[in-house]
């Protein structure tokens, strides 16, 4: 990878930081990141652990997905602090790579992006009765709307700028979105407020359940029928959107005018039968730390809470300063592996809040050695997709749960 490695600050919805400031060195493309360049051993304030975010890999993924979606536009989801990667740096990189708009969960996150100087369209869709509709309107935030009370709240806010609204219909996922019975009233109210200049009716949209191709086809049909109903009530929808990562890749008929790409852009496959590598995508996050200490133990030695693991022979144990408080899933105890010294080793015993133990056998490992929990996989290290299997979950959760004690370090000049 080219460019510099920078320790950055990823914006959260409340404007707090997910990273810490610190120095880092240059990293060349194609080489394994240099441990000394990326982990500043002079910090000394906490055990060395970090999530290395490769912005060049992210840009590659966004370009790849945008090419698949074309002629539909690409909206890039940076919700949940960009799936744990850092919202502001990833938002900038997405726009640099060809995304034309961004998606976040709520208005506070959208306002953080605006405060960071991002002027591209930003879409937010989760609102409670106290949502900051006036602030959103003034900041020109696109709003996902599921109920007439939200439209009324926007009108009551009396902002001088009428926000663009995307009306959501529930096509089977059963989260937010108007039901078939409520849809006509929602559309009628939106048309009324559009004519009054309180909102600008911009889009009709929904979200797929990704249950089966048949279920997704049914959902697409429901959206199309809802649009027809809306048009019969006088609505005009310049934009229609339904597909996210999965349908954006495999369901061309669902791409419509815009695809909301999420986890695929972070280099994690949305499918069980294809990896990110199969899709031509590159994992963006590498989670790693240093061995905090080692010790030799005899055969039969119990490890961690409950002593669920005992050594089969005399062995070396390595302590790693990451635990479930940092997002390491406890359910992966006794299943997961990590990369130390050029090979994989098993996590021994239960993962604790702040640490886990690795049985490295007779392999020479010392305090300070690099531990890769997951990464791109090119050297044989585990990937986030493999961790998802060990934790009986999805790759989205593995990266999004990496906690704030883990600094984010950015490769590839964020915001260049």
The residues that are catalytic are 79, 305
DSSP letter, residue 319: E
Give the Cα separation of 334 and 10 in Å (integer).
Answer: 32
* Burial (CB count within 10 angstroms: exposed 0-12, middle 13-18, buried 19+), residue 83: buried
Query: Whose CA is closest to 253, among 273, 278, 223?
Result: 223
Q: What tokens appear for 402 in the block?
A: 């990496």
Give the angle subtended at the CA of 174 by the CAs of 190 and 87, to the nearest 5°: 75
Q: Are 286 and 296 in contact (CB under 8 A)?
A: no
Q: Cα-flanking dihedrals φ and ψ of residue 146, to 5°? A: -120, -10
CA-based Rg of the chain, rounded to a whole angstrom?
23
Q: What tokens appear for 171 in the block?
A: 């096509």
Q: Checking DSSP bridges between strand 285-290 and strand 101-104, what pairing results, if any?
A: unpaired
End-to-end CA distance of the chain: 15
Longest dimension (CA), the chain: 79
């Amino acid at each position: 990878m080219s460019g510099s490695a920078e320790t950055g600050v990823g914006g959260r919805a409340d404007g707090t930081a997910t990273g810490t400031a610190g120095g880092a060195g240059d990293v060349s493309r194609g080489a394994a990141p240099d441990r000394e360049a990326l982990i500043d051993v002079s910090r000394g304030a906490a055990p060395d652990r970090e999530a290395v975010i490769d912005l060049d890999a992210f840009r590659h993924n966004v370009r790849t997905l945008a090419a698949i979606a074309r002629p539909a536009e690409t909206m890039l989801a940076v919700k949940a602090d960009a799936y744990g990667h850092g919202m502001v740096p990833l938002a900038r990189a997405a726009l640099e790579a060809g995304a034309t708009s961004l998606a976040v969960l709520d208005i506070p996150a959208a306002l953080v992006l605006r405060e960071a100087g991002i002027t591209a369209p930003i879409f937010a869709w989760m609102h409670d009765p106290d949502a900051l509709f006036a602030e959103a309107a003034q900041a020109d935030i696109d709003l996902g709307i599921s109920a007439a009370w939200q439209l009324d709240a926007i009108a009551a806010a009396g902002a001088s700028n009428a926000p663009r609204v995307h009306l959501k219909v529930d096509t089977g996922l059963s989260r937010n979105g108007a039901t078939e019975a409520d849809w006509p009233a929602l559309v009628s109210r939106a048309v009324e407020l559009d004519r009054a200049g309180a909102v600008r009716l911009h889009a009709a949209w929904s979200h797929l359940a990704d249950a089966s191709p048949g279920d997704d086809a049914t959902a697409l049909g429901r959206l199309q029928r809802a649009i027809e109903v809306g048009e019969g009530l006088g609505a005009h929808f310049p934009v229609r959107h339904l597909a996210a990562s999965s349908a954006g890749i495999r369901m061309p008929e669902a791409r419509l005018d815009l695809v909301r790409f999420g986890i695929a852009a972070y280099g994690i496959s949305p499918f069980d039968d294809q990896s990110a590598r199969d899709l031509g995508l590159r994992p963006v996050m590498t989670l790693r730390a240093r061995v905090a200490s080692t010790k030799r133990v005899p055969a039969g030695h119990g490890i961690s809470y409950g002593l669920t693991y005992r050594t089969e022979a005399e062995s070396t144990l390595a302590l790693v300063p990451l635990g479930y408080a940092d997002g390491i899933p406890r359910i992966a105890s006794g299943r997961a592996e990590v990369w130390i010294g050029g090979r994989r080793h098993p996590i021994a015993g239960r993962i604790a809040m702040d640490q886990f133990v690795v049985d490295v056998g007779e392999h020479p490992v010392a305090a300070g050695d690099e531990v890769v929990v997951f990464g791109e996989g090119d050297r044989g290290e585990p990937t986030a997709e493999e961790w998802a299997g060990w934790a009986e979950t999805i790759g989205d959760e593995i990266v999004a749960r990496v906690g704030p004690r883990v600094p984010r370090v950015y490769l590839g000049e964020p915001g260049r």
